[in-house]
Amino acid sequence: MMLTKTTIAALLASLSFVTAVPQGATSTSTSTTSSSSSSSSSSARRSSRYAASSSVPSTRPGLSSVFHGAYSGSATVTGALKASSVGTGIVVGGVPPAETTYPSDGQLHDAQPAPYVPAGGVGTNTTPIYNVQSDFDYESLALALYQEWIELDLFQYGLKTFSDSDFQDAGLTAEDRTLIEFMAEQEIGHATLISNILGAEAPQQCNYNYPFTNVREFVDFCQKLTRFGESGVYGFLGHLNSREAATLLLQSISTEARQQLIFRQFDGLFPMPVWFEVGVPQSWAWTLLAPYISSCPANQTRLAWQNFPALWILNQPNPARYNASQGFNETLGAGTNTLNSTGISGSAACFNNTGQSGNCNPAITQNRSIPLSYPGRVVNLTWDQPGKLVGPNNSYVTSSSAGTPAYVAWVSQLNVTYSALNLSSNTSGSTVQPDVETFAGDPAVNGTLFIAITDSDIFLTPFNLSLINEHVVAGPALYQAG
């Protein structure tokens, strides 16, 4: 049966919860309160205008007032969510024989269930249920929801914080601001969708602490935050028990991928310098996201994922520089390693740069006259020891089960490549950017990618990358390769 829009809407509406006003929010102050009468009447207006079904699903509101800044209290709960029993490690089995017996010769091998329908596939003859079916599903979607909530706030916060002339000075017009505003609206939809799938205990919106101080840094932060938002979902999509949830989540994250590309354009970067978008484990996304969440409302649903120790890239290529390699300790902190543009001026800056060939103003596409990074580049790194408090209410604790730091894992496109780590202390060292291609003509290390310090160079591929977690000493950090 073809799945129509109405079927999806009906199924989602049936799953959706209506206790929509979160703690700390007042019931009247947002335009998106799902169960309020004002919102139902505005939905009704929309419906009649577009002659759509009378049951346009309403959206879930975020907090009525998000607080920005650091958290300085102590948490009532500490540590990741844990089940009553925790095993010692994942046991990896062999390849099930049935996975390798299909002849793959272009012929049909089984009777067709219907005209024009080849045999096989999964879930093509069942009634779809858009729910979660395991702790893995719940925790993965809950993580994605934390991400959608911060994006909703982040895009609005940037627009509120910087003036029209700040944006203008960074080369961004009123129409560009409208596009960012529309991205915030997309996040309302994504947060609602995931909340509806999760049910009444779905995580609420939180309060945030952002590192940027100007439009250029805001744009770079958005470019990097959407990179791990997108990659964090690709990492688990194929592993969800619920294929139905995976289908809808992919349709959301494809939108997020477009946001990432547009923020790269606003950042003056080449929009898509890779052939494949990378996926990373949930604990990598959570490690990168948690430091920007200052506190969450009481009774917030907690997450089971790991927070690894923070990783700084001391000579992170800085896209605000004419020669990106020249920046040293020029980021706004560990993890995302967002560019710091405050101290860059004159001919060292690439924005509005007319004296040398090429600038880095917002554009559909940009060639950098000097590449941001290159194979063979020495990369200097420092990292934290485990045991630090991070995340909402400082209520999570960084940890690592790895042994001695020995490698840097470069996770990009379809590849996990290791470079040797030259230690200069227990928590600092250097490595050399590897020279590896995904396919001939496609340098694997490009774009905004992930690096981590590991104790092993274990061979991994996109579908089993999360097995790297027990080997992670620190990181990930986002490396700005192109």
- The backbone torsions φ and ψ at residue 113, rounded to the nearest 5 degrees and listed phi first, read -70, -20
Q: How many residues bind ligand NAG (CB under 6 A)?
A: 45
Residues 206-235 touching ligand NAG, rule: CB under 6 A, are none
Binding flag, residue 241, ligand NAG (CB under 6 A): no
Residues 6+ apart with CB under 8 A from 55: 9, 10, 13
Binding flag, residue 365, ligand NAG (CB under 6 A): no
By C-beta, is 67 or 182 nearer to ligand NAG? Answer: 67
The mark string for 419-458 relative to ligand NAG (x by CB under 6 A, - otherwise) is: ---x-x-x---x-----x-x----x-xx------------
Binding flag, residue 265, ligand NAG (CB under 6 A): no
Q: How far is the CB of 170 from ligand NAG (least distance, A)?
A: 7
Binding flag, residue 334, ligand NAG (CB under 6 A): no
Place of tokens 């290791």: 418
Binding flag, residue 301, ligand NAG (CB under 6 A): no
Residue with the CB atom nearest ligand NAG in the bound state: 343
Q: Which region, judged by CB under 6 A, interacts with ligand NAG, from 177-185, 225-233, 291-299, 471-479?
A: 291-299
Could you count the other beta carbons within 10 Å of the beta carbon of residue 275? 15
Which of 414, 458, 460, 467 contacts ligand NAG by CB under 6 A?
A: 414
Q: How far is the CB of 351 from ligand NAG (least distance, A)?
A: 6
By C-beta, is 100 or 367 nearer to ligand NAG? Answer: 367
Name the residue type at position 214. Answer: N
C-alpha torsion sign, points 327, 329, 332, 336: positive
Kindly compute the dihedral angle of the four CA atoms of residues 333, 337, 340, 341, in this order, to the nearest 10 degrees. Answer: -170
DSSP annotation of 401 reads: -
Q: How far is the CB of 290 from ligand NAG (least distance, A)?
A: 13
Q: Which region, judged by CB under 6 A, interacts with ligand NAG, from 101-109, 123-131, 175-183, 413-421?
A: 413-421
**Distances 115 to 82, 111, 122, 123, 124 between C-alpha atoms, Å:** 49, 10, 18, 18, 14
**Distances 43 to 10, 53, 56, 97, 172 between C-alpha atoms, Å:** 15, 10, 6, 52, 33
Place of tokens 């609206």: 185
Which of 179, 370, 389, 397 contacts ligand NAG by CB under 6 A?
A: 370
Q: Which region, judged by CB under 6 A, interacts with ligand NAG, from 188-196, 249-257, 294-302, 465-473?
A: 294-302
By C-beta, is 11 or 143 nearer to ligand NAG? Answer: 143
Residues 166-195 touching ligand NAG, rule: CB under 6 A, are 169
Q: Which region, judged by CB under 6 A, interacts with ligand NAG, from 40-48, 105-113, 225-233, 296-304?
A: 296-304
Q: Which region, judged by CB under 6 A, interacts with ligand NAG, from 46-54, 117-125, 188-196, 412-420?
A: 412-420
Binding flag, residue 354, ligand NAG (CB under 6 A): no
Q: How far is the CB of 9 from ligand NAG (least distance, A)?
A: 30
**HSE-CB of 410 using CA atoms within 13 angstroms:** 27
**Nearest residue to 188 via CA among 205, 164, 206:** 205
The DSSP element (H or E) to which 287 belongs, if any, is helix 282-289
Which of 133, 161, 209, 326 contacts ligand NAG by CB under 6 A?
A: 326
By C-beta, is 206 or 253 nearer to ligand NAG? Answer: 206
Which of 156, 204, 295, 306 contacts ligand NAG by CB under 6 A?
A: 295
**Nearest residue to 300 via CA among 392, 204, 388, 370:** 204
State CA 34 to chain mean position distance: 26
Residues 6+ apart with CB under 8 A from 275: 413, 438, 439, 442
Residues 51, 319: Cα–Cα separation, whole Å: 48
Structure tokens at 443: 């340098």
Residues 323, 297: Cα–Cα separation, whole Å: 44
Residues 36, 272: Cα–Cα separation, whole Å: 42
The DSSP element (H or E) to which 439 belongs, if any, is none
Give the strands of the sheet with 415-420, arranged side by side: 415-420, 407-412, 448-454, 472-480
Q: How far is the CB of 39 from ligand NAG (least distance, A)?
A: 23
Which of 21, 180, 253, 332 contacts ligand NAG by CB under 6 A?
A: 332
DSSP annotation of 467 reads: G
Residues 11, 106: Cα–Cα separation, whole Å: 37
Q: How far is the CB of 111 from ligand NAG (least distance, A)?
A: 34
Residues 14-53 touching ligand NAG, rule: CB under 6 A, are 23
Which residues bind to ligand NAG, rule: CB under 6 A?
A: 23, 73, 75-77, 169, 270, 273, 295-299, 314, 323, 325-326, 329, 332, 340, 342-343, 351-352, 367, 370-371, 374, 378, 380, 393, 395, 414-415, 417, 422, 424, 426, 430, 436, 438, 443, 445-446, 482
